[in-house]
Amino acid sequence: MATLKHIASKNSDYTVIEAYLVYQHDAFTGKQLLDEQGRPKLRDSYLLDTLECGDFSFATACLLANRKYGKNTQHGDIKSHQYIISFDPRDAADNSLTMEKAQALGLKFCEENFPGHPAIVCTHPDGHNHSGNIHVHIVIGSVRTREVERKPYMQKPRDWREGMKHSSTAQTMRHLRVEVMELCEGAGLYQIDLLNGSKERVSEREYWMKQRGQLKLDHENAALLATGQQPTQTKFETAKEVLRRQISEVLNVATSFEDFSDRLMQQYGIAVKESRGQLSYLPSGRTKFIRAKHLGDKFDKAAVLSTLQANTERKPKAQFKQDTIGKLIDIQSRMTEGKGIGYKRWLTKHNLKVMAQTVKLLQEKGLTDEG
């Protein structure tokens, strides 16, 4: 299954990406690895070509384009875009995928989708996790140096005009994912549907956070074992992993959105809100909500409501008459315990619900009549 990843860079030193593609780097720190003489160590194997660079290196071609069109003069400007196509590890054995074939596919992909941009295409035989996945790095300078033929997927002038900057929008990424799927189909390689999202979405930053956290935990556990102590935790979880697990546990048993919201707060102190049709979650201890799209499609509004509906249909409703009411909670006293703003919102909602239940019960028992 080939995957596609995009990385935007604001680094004005274009030689850094060239060095990364050619030399060995520590997977965790990103620093170049040096040999005994203190010189950078070349990667054991790679294939590299440049496109649209003329007689210059990729870095020089990008700098010349910036100067010619007066682009990328600010620190926050995106200077380059990197797209990584990672092929299924099984493709080498099952479908005769070689580095040479992957490089050719990468060059074709670059020529068809990023015409006019200085580009560097480099294929590596394996990833940092040593799974054996051949992958291609396609790095383009953000400025187009010539006008190109407008294609159906190009919607704005910046997509084809000279001197304009590439923009990796949602529409662009959708087009590129389709291109990757068609590329693999045409080459007879394994492929999955890249258009239907991911149930649990892990960003590049979270991935490396997990790797570093697990490495640190392994070292700490090794030290404990050396002294005859048993570790209490062997698997490191990022904050988002914990949040996904807690939401999933509640989602598996809740039967309505109100039930879902209440259980999240009662069990884990997690607040959930809807804004413009999108769900966001606020774990205890945070002040900023995390949007569902940063956790995965499993946690967005449509998926959550679908799961809740399925739970409702699977579990018959208990038949009983409400003849008791809950108790009001002193919000001020609870907030002095260090609870977050999400908990305060839930308490307010809880108290309003209790008051409504009280009025309803009194009305049913005829205790609201004057006289």
Q: Provide the residue range defining the domain that includes 58.
A: 3-187
What is the rounded average pLDDT of the residues 313-338?
59
Last residue of a domain, one of 304, 319, 334: 319
Q: Do 149 and 206 fall within a single domain?
A: no
Least confident of 109-123, 323-337, 351-365: 323-337
pLDDT (tens digit per residue) in 251-260: 999 999 999 9
348 within some domain: yes
Q: Do 215 and 173 fall within a single domain?
A: no
Domain count of the fold of the chain: 3
Tokens 């030399």 locate to: 23
Q: Do 201 and 183 fall within a single domain?
A: no
Backbone phi, psi, residue 351, to 5°: -65, -40
> The domain spanning residue 90 has which CATH number?
3.30.930.30
What one-character DSSP code corresponds to residue 203? Answer: -
pLDDT (tens digit per residue) in 276-318: 999 999 998 889 999 998 999 899 999 999 999 999 988 765 4
User: What is the structure's pLDDT at 352?
Assistant: 73
Q: Do 259 and 271 fall within a single domain?
A: yes
Q: Which residue has the higher pLDDT, 353 or 135?
A: 135
226 within some domain: yes
Q: Do 325 and 312 fall within a single domain?
A: no
Q: Do 7 and 139 fall within a single domain?
A: yes
In percent, the amount of the chain with pLDDT more than 70 equals: 84
48 within some domain: yes
In one-letter notation, the amino acid at residue 193 is D
366 within some domain: yes
Reported confidence tier of residue 320, pLDDT bands at 50, 70, 90: very low
Reported confidence tier of residue 205, pLDDT bands at 50, 70, 90: confident
What is the rounded average pLDDT of the residues 123-139?
87
312 within some domain: yes
Q: Which residue has the higher pLDDT, 54 or 192?
A: 54
Q: Mean pLDDT, the chain, as a whole number?
A: 87
The distance of Cα 6 from the centroid of its chain, to the nearest Å, equals 11
Q: Do 58 and 19 fall within a single domain?
A: yes
Q: Do 266 and 294 fall within a single domain?
A: yes
Q: Do 210 and 353 fall within a single domain?
A: no
192 within some domain: no
Last residue of a domain, one of 141, 157, 187: 187
Cα separation, 277 vs 120, in Å, equals: 40
111 within some domain: yes
Name the CA radius of gyration of the chain, rounded: 27
Reported confidence tier of residue 368, pLDDT bands at 50, 70, 90: low
Last residue of a domain, one of 153, 187, 221: 187
Reported confidence tier of residue 324, pLDDT bands at 50, 70, 90: low
Q: Do 283 and 179 fall within a single domain?
A: no
Q: Do 90 and 202 fall within a single domain?
A: no
What one-character DSSP code corresponds to residue 134? Answer: -
Residues 6 or more apart in contact with residue 184 via CB below 8 angstroms: 2, 87, 190, 191
Residues 6 or more apart in contact with residue 96 via CB below 8 angstroms: none
pLDDT (tens digit per residue) in 16-53: 999 999 999 887 778 899 999 999 999 999 999 999 99
Q: Do 30 and 165 fall within a single domain?
A: yes
Helix axes 15-22, 58-69, angle to 10 degrees: 160
User: What is the structure's pLDDT at 321?
Assistant: 45
Reported confidence tier of residue 191, pLDDT bands at 50, 70, 90: confident
What is the rounded average pLDDT of the residues 241-246?
95
Alpha helices in 188-236 (DSSP H): 204-226
Q: Which residues of 213-247 are buried (b: 16+ CB within 10 A; e: fewer)?
A: eeeebeeebeeeeeeeeeeeeeebebebbebbebb
